[in-house]
Structure formats: C-alpha cells, structure tokens
Structure 1
Amino acid sequence: MEEITCDICVIGAGSGGLSVAAGAAQMGADTVLIEGAEMGGDCLNHGCVPSKSLLAVAKQAHLMRNPPVPGVAAADPQIDYAAAKDHVARVIETIAPVDSQERFEGLGVRVLRGWASFEDEKTVVTDAHRVRARRFVIATGSSPFVPPIDGIGDVPYLTNETLFALRDRPEHLLIIGGGPIGLEMAQAHARLGSRVTVIEADRALPRDDREQVEIVLAQLASEGVQVLEGQKVTRVRHSDGVIRIETEGGTYEGSHLLVAAGRRINLDRLDLDRAGIAHDRGVTVGTDLRSPSNRRVYAIGDAAGGAQFTHVAGYHAGIVVRSAVLGMTWSKARTDHIPHVTYTDPELAHVGMTEAETREKFGGRTKVLRFNYAENDRAIATGRTTGFVKLVVANGRPCGASIIGSDAGDLIAIWSEAIANGTKLSAIANTVLPYPTLSEINKRAAGAYFAPQLFENASVKSVVRLVQKYLP
C-alpha cells in the first residue's frame, strides 16, 4: 500500500469536491482527490446535466405541438426516444472533460481512483493507498433514497442513476415522489409520448409557494400527467410486464417505475466513527463547515446535511478553500440567500424567506408585492404570459422572492444577489434594463413598493401642485 502525505485530501469528485481540489492545488496546496465512481459526480452523470438535456428535447416536442404564437401550424413531432437519450449522452460527453481526471492532474491534483474510508483521525485508506493529510474535505454527495415499500425489492424500478440509460420509451411511467425530480421527469416523458402517473404521499413541491405550485400542476394536468397527492404507497408488485402500485387511495398500473422519493447522503463507506467524526443524517458541522469532533475534517454539499443542490456544494467549496487553504477561519456559510429552481415548464424558483417567515420576523413592516408576466411586453410578444413574481419585503429590502413562469430560474438571480448583499429595493427599481425583456418583471415588482408612496400620497400631490404653480 502506497503511503501519501498531503495538505488537503478531498473525498468525492462531484461539483464541490472538484472545486475545492482545483482551488487548493492552484493556490499551492499539496492536494489529493479520491473518487470511487465517476468524475463529475451525480450532477454531471445522473442529475442536473442529463435531466436538463432531456427536458430540452421534450420542450422542443411540446412547442411543435403547441406553438406559443400564431402564424406557425402545429405539427405532430416524430419522437425518437433513443435519439433523445443520445443527445443526453453527447451533452455529458461534451462537459465531462472539464471534470476529468486528466484535467485535474494537469492542475496539480493527485487523483486516486477508489473508495475511501477513515483509518483514524488523521488517515484515509483506499485499496491501494494510505493518505495522511492536514485537512480532509468530505464531498461524497448523495444517492437516490428507495423507501422500504413492501415488494420494492422484487420490482424492476428506475432511479435517476439508471433512467438516462433507458433506451425504450416507457408506455406508462409510474413515478413515486412529487418533488422536483419527479415532476421534471414526469413532464419530460409526457411530452415525449409516455403516459405518466405521479404518486406523492404528501404535497407536491411542499417547499414552494402553493399558489405557484398549483400553476405547475395545472400545466402538467393539461399535458396529461396525473399527479396524485396525499397517497402513500403501501405495496408494489410486478407481474406479466405490469407494475402495480397500491396506495391508501387506490391501485395504479404502469409499464415502468421511477423512484424519486428523495436522497440519502453517501457516508456508509467512510467509517466516520474511526476518525471521531460526529454524524447523523450528514456529517455534523458548524457554520464553518468543520466537524466539531475532528477539526481536521470539513464536509460540504450534500454531505454537510443541508440543502442538496449543486450550487450549494460550489458555495461551500469557496468557504472551505478560504478556511483550509488561506487560513480565513472566520469564513462562514449562510442559508438565507440560497435559491432553488424546479425546471418544469413553467419554471418555479425561490430564494430567501417565505411570506409567513417574513411576517413572523418583521410583523406589520412586511409587504407583499406582485407583478404578472401578462403585464410584461416581452412575455406578451412571445406568448409566455403565464406566471408572476411574488416579492416579500421588509424595511425597504427584499427578504424573499418566488417566481413562476418562463425563465424563472434565470430571473431569480437578481433577488439572490440582492438578498445576499442586503441590496435595497430602490437600487433595483433605479436600474435601467433593456426593453423589451423579461427581466423588467423584477424591476416592475420592485417599483410596486414605491408606487403608493408616489401616486397615492396626499402630501406628495400637494407638493407637486405647489411646485407646478411656481415653477418658471
């Protein structure tokens, strides 16, 4: 077994781990990166990249059937499901070199391929290596969670790790789970010609504004997707090529089953107890992302037990690089400015506090502003008028924003920036934006905060009359 010593040992070559390794090595730290599966992690190989690629194909098929503006006749697209999956594979192959072992070795990172586990507080081992490091970064990500449903072990089910390798289009796709993955793949497959039934034990997209979620559900229903809320799956069976799901409300049959019921953090292989690393659902860390029981160890992204998003892992990576590499130990992680997006059509995006949370904190100083896509000239011109932005404000600053509509994931960016930096609404209202663009929706929402003060204020009217009387 080869003995290695280094400054930083990163376990996991997903988005967060790669960012730490690249930053540390390029700044001069002796860096080792260990990965037992595929470089790029879940996001590149089984998550964000393939799902958005498949959604792009599905959206094109939908637009052919349903042109958003007149002048172009609707057409019935000829769907080649295998070719759609070829597109997914090409996108992954195009991006993969950025995350490749060769690239990171070129940056000065020593990449070890194998599964890592802790031997003691200062040492990690693989089948062929023993690594002693000043600092360890656990960036192992997460995997699909399969609930302990009666019969699930006897049913040929799919997860996001196997779905994108499927070459034959499902005739009727059953989906357990009404979260972002479940609803995104439901819409994609419905648009590609499958019948789809989604079964959710609670409410679909429970973390989002219910009024906006209802718009997503209405769109899915209009495309033939059946979404069943409040139906817990009690049993799953498979016979004669038919999958049967039994719930508290009925029985549903289909040809394929996708389990999208959440994620479990990948900690099982690590032997954390040997290193004195406290853990529960994820690694126990403070706002500095360090383990309080073993200060050599950091955890980032999904492994840190918080929000499970690629952009969170990247954000955590920056904090760890500043702390573990540059010694800026005062660098802390926040959660109040982290956005999330569900990439259905229309998209649904949110950042910051909800209306209820803002009212609880600020009481009567809370104001709720709203601006509809249907009042935006670009949305009208392009036939994308479904949706609205809902802005929650206190003391002249945005506390939270939710957007339902076309390109919501891009439009939420300005509110993420504003909340992260404590920007006043006046700064957004004063920004000059190109016309006509969807981005004006955000500016108009900000402007709605000042409209009553300017146009409904008796004192302002009196001053204006006085000025007009004496203005030369």
Structure 2
Amino acid sequence: MERIETDICVIGAGSGGLSVAAGAVQMGARVVLIEAGKMGGDCLNAGCVPSKALIAAAKAAEAQRHGFRGVAGLEPAVDFGGVKDHIAAVIEQIAPVDSQERFEGLGVRVIRAFGRFVGPREVEAGGYKIRARRFVIATGSRPFVPPIEGADKVPWFTNETIFAVRERPEHLIVIGGGPIGVEMAQAHRRLGSAVTVIEGAKALGREDPELAGVVLEALRAEGIVLRERQQVVRLSGVAGAVEVALADGTTVRGSHLLMAVGRKVALGGMGLEAAGVAYTAKGVTVDARLRSSNHKVFAVGDAAGGLQFTHVAGYHAGIVVRQVVLGLPAKATMRAMPRATYSDPELAQVGLTEAEARDAYGASVTVVKAEFAHNDRAITEAKGKGLLKVMVVKGRPVGASIVGPQAGELIALWALAISAKLKMSAIAAMVAPYPTLGEVSKRAAGAYFSPKLFDSAALKRLVRFVQRFVP
C-alpha cells in the first residue's frame, strides 16, 4: 500500500470539502481530496442545482399558463424529457468548476475511492494510506427513508433518483412537507402532474406559521392536495400504481412516490472509532471551532450535525481554512445563517422567527411588518402577495422572515444586518433604487421608527417651535 504524507486530507468532494481543498492548496498547503462518488456532491448532482433547474422550467410553464393582464395565457406544451435535458445541461455546465481535473490543476491530489480511518492520523483509500496533519470530514448526507411497512417492496424515489425520470408522473405522491417536498410538489404540479403531499405534522412546520400559510395557500390554489398531520402506516403497489395507507384509514393512490422526509448524515463505514472521533446519528460531535473529539479532525457541512445547507458547508469551510491553513482562531456561529424555500412565492428566514424571538426576549421584542402589496415594483408585476417581518431588540434586528417574490434574494440584506450587528437606522437610511422589491426592507425599517416620529407629542412640540421661531 502506497503511503502519502500531506498537510490536509479532505474526505468528501461536496461544497464544503471542495471549498476547503481549493482554499488550502491555493494558499500553499499540501492537500489530498478523497471522494468515492461524484465530484460536486449532492448539491451539484442531486440537490440545489437540478432542483432549481426543474423549478425554473416549471415557473416558465406556469407563466405561460396564466399569461398576464392583456396577454392571453395558454396551456403549455411540456416536454418532460426536454426539461430533464435542461437539468442535465445545467449540471454539465457547472460541473467543470467542481471537476477532478480542475482540482488536480490547482495541485490537489484527488483519490476517487472510499476513505476509512485506520488510526487517529491515518486514512486508507483506494490502495493508499494517507497520513495528514489535519483531516476534514465533509461527507454530507443522504436521503432518509423511514421504516414504513412495505417500503422494501414498493418502488420509490428520492432527490437522488427523481431527476432521472423522463416520463411525466401522472400522479406524484410526496411523503414529506418540508422544503424539498414543497419545492418538488409545486414544480411537478406546474409541469402537469397531479400531486398529493403527505406530512406527519404541519407542512413547512419549522417556518413562521403566518408566512408558511401564504405558501401553502398558493400550493392548494394550484391544485396540490395537502394531507397534513397524517402518519403513513403502509406502502403497497407496483411501478406506476402505488398506494399509501394513512393512519386515519384512508388510502392515497398515485403513479410515483417521492420520499422527502429528511436526510441522514453519511458517516457509515468511516472507521471513526479508530480515529477517536465521537459522533451520533446527527453527525460528528464538534465544538464551536468545528473540531471533533480528535482535535486533528474537523467536520463541516451536514457531517458537522447542524443545519443542512450548501451555504452552511461553504461557511464552515472558511472557518476551518482559517485555522488549519493560517493558524488563526475562528469559531462558527449560526446567528445570521439564512435559509430559503424556493416555492412560489418564496419563503426565507434568517435569525430568529417571531415565536423564537418572543421566547428569547419577551416584551423587549418589537415586530415590524411591510407588505408587498404596498411595494410599487411588486404591484407592477402583479406579485403583491407577500410579507416581511423583522424582529427587533434595542434597535437591532435579531431575525427576519420573508414570504414573497425573490424572498431568497431579499433575505441577504437582513443576513448582513444581523451578522454585522447593524441598527435599523442603517437600513432606514439606505437608498434603494426605485422601483425595486428591495424597498420593502427600507419600508420595514421605516415602520420601526414611525411610532417614534409620528406619535411623539414632544417631537410635535419641537416641530411647532421650529416652524414658528427658527428663520
């Protein structure tokens, strides 16, 4: 077995692992990157990229279907296989950035094999034994399939397999009403499938209920059937004719079944015990510096057991690079980490929701709102249904929730505000181009100051004095 000595060994070539490898090698560190699957990981091949490409096609179909005032709509002619060709083309266009060739060109030693720890500072992979000063576990996660009776006998799909389906599902049953389930349900409905979503609790239950309700109302208006607070007890059927039996005694019948009930961290078979790395079913146990119980081993992204988002993995990568490459102290914080559900309307969140803020700060919280119905750009585009909420404590935002057009883009300003600890006065003083959706944030900031400006007797007395005596 050939031995390799290196500075940093990264296990997993998804977003987090690639970011660590690229940053470290370009700063002069020796890097070995191990990947048993596809370069780019879940985000490129089965997650963010293909799902957003599918959503884009579905959005185009829906726009054609409804037209616009003065512009007649017509039923779109959907070539479902052609949509899948679009998805494949998008992946192909982005793939070179994550490719083995690019990283080898940067100077990274890439080993396409499964990596397994055989000691605190050694990993075996593909006939090599790699000894490194530091290791980074960036193995990501895989779709979780719950132990439902009949699941071993009925064909089902996950986000890793649904994008290969080239024939439009006649009736797609989605088990899971979280972001993935909601996004896939709406996209397939807009492309011509009947869709039923089954959720054991409340759909989009992690989000602000007022804002989530706007999304769910939109789904129902488009013809998606939502079965909330329904436990699945049994699966049966064959390809093209599946049945889902629910706890209330009813049965949902469809042609295709998508499992979208969550994800499990991919740590199996890695020999973490041999490395002295503590872990649970949620992921590697890490401290604020993202170090495991073996301080030579770090974990990033889904493997670190926290929020499962591509941008979290990228953020983690920066925290680790600062430490293992530059020797600088760095700690991760999720205080200003945004998330978005790319439904239509979009739903986005950063920091605390209203309920979380009230639990944390009680009566000290001020909640200000701005409706898209009062935003001129939204009105011109007939997209006035939406709402921005900002949770404010002592003049600073601690959370923001948005439902409406481009919510995923608009949340970035509030992520910056919370991260930089800006005051609401900074947002209120911002000059936004007119007319833009971004003005909704300025309106919310203005709403925070309105009571102080327009309901203050002392201020009104001052204004009367100025108007009367100041030349």
TM range (shorter): over 0.9
Q: Does 1:25 align with 2:25?
A: yes
CA distance in 2, matches of 1:96, 1:46: 12
Cross-structure match for 2:66: 66
- Residue 287 of structure 2 aligns to which amino acid in structure 1? G
Structure 2: 5+ residue runs without aligned partners? none
Task: Tell me the CA shift for residue 127 of structure 1.
Answer: 2.9
CA distance in 1, matches of 2:290, 2:356: 25
Give the ranges of 4+ consecutive aligned residues of structure 1 lying more than 4 Å apart after TM superposition: none
CA distance in 1, matches of 2:335, 2:275: 32
CA distance in 1, matches of 2:19, 2:239: 48
Task: Tell me the CA shift for residue 97 of structure 1.
Answer: 0.3
Q: Does 1:93 align with 2:92?
A: yes
Cross-structure match for 1:14: 14
CA distance in 1, matches of 2:379, 2:238: 50
Cross-structure match for 2:311: 311
Cross-structure match for 1:207: 206
Deviations 1:10-68 (A, max 9, x none): 0000000000000000000000000000000000000000000000000000011112x
CA distance in 1, matches of 2:412, 2:394: 21
TM (normalized to structure 2)? 0.99
Judge conservation of contact 2:208–2:354 (CA < 8 Å) in 1.
no
- Residue 290 of structure 1 aligns to which amino acid in structure 2? R
Cross-structure match for 2:453: 454
CA distance in 2, matches of 1:368, 1:316: 31
CA distance in 2, matches of 1:348, 1:295: 38
- Residue 368 of structure 2 aligns to which amino acid in structure 1? L
Cross-structure match for 2:57: 57
Which deviates the most, 354-363 or 390-399?
A: 354-363
Other structure's SS at 2:123 match: strand
Other structure's SS at 1:160 match: coil
CA distance in 2, matches of 1:370, 1:83: 42
Deviations 1:283-330 (A, max 9, x none): 010000001x211100000000000000000000000000111111x2
* Identity rate, percent: 58
Alignment map for 1:41-440 (pairs within 5 Å): 41-67=41-67, 69-239=68-238, 241-249=240-248, 250-280=250-280, 281-291=282-292, 293-328=293-328, 330-440=329-439
Task: Tell me the CA shift for residue 356 of structure 1.
Answer: 2.5
Structure 1: 5+ residue runs without aligned partners? none
CA distance in 2, matches of 1:181, 1:260: 6
Other structure's SS at 1:157 match: coil
Other structure's SS at 2:279 match: coil
Q: CA RMSD in A?
A: 0.8
Judge conservation of contact 2:155–2:238 (CA < 8 Å) in 1.
no
CA distance in 2, matches of 1:97, 1:317: 20
CA distance in 2, matches of 1:363, 1:172: 46
Judge conservation of contact 1:115–1:269 (CA < 8 Å) in 2.
no
Task: Tell me the CA shift for residue 240 of structure 1.
Answer: 7.4
CA distance in 2, matches of 1:376, 1:15: 36
TM (normalized to structure 1)? 0.98
Distance 1:169 1:353, change over 3 A: same
Judge conservation of contact 2:139–2:302 (CA < 8 Å) in 1.
yes
Other structure's SS at 1:419 match: helix
Task: Tell me the CA shift for residue 359 of structure 1.
Answer: 2.2
Other structure's SS at 1:258 match: strand
Judge conservation of contact 2:8–2:134 (CA < 8 Å) in 1.
yes
CA distance in 1, matches of 2:275, 2:346: 43
Judge conservation of contact 1:199–1:231 (CA < 8 Å) in 2.
yes
Task: Tell me the CA shift for residue 174 of structure 1.
Answer: 0.5
Distance 1:369 1:111, change over 3 A: same
- Residue 255 of structure 1 aligns to which amino acid in structure 2? S
Task: Tell me the CA shift for residue 242 of structure 1.
Answer: 1.2
- Residue 167 of structure 1 aligns to which amino acid in structure 2? R
Which deviates the most, 157-166 or 352-361?
A: 352-361
Question: What is the number of equivalent residue pairs in this alignment?
Answer: 469
Deviations 1:401-460 (A, max 9, x none): 000000000000000001111010000100111000000000100110111111111000
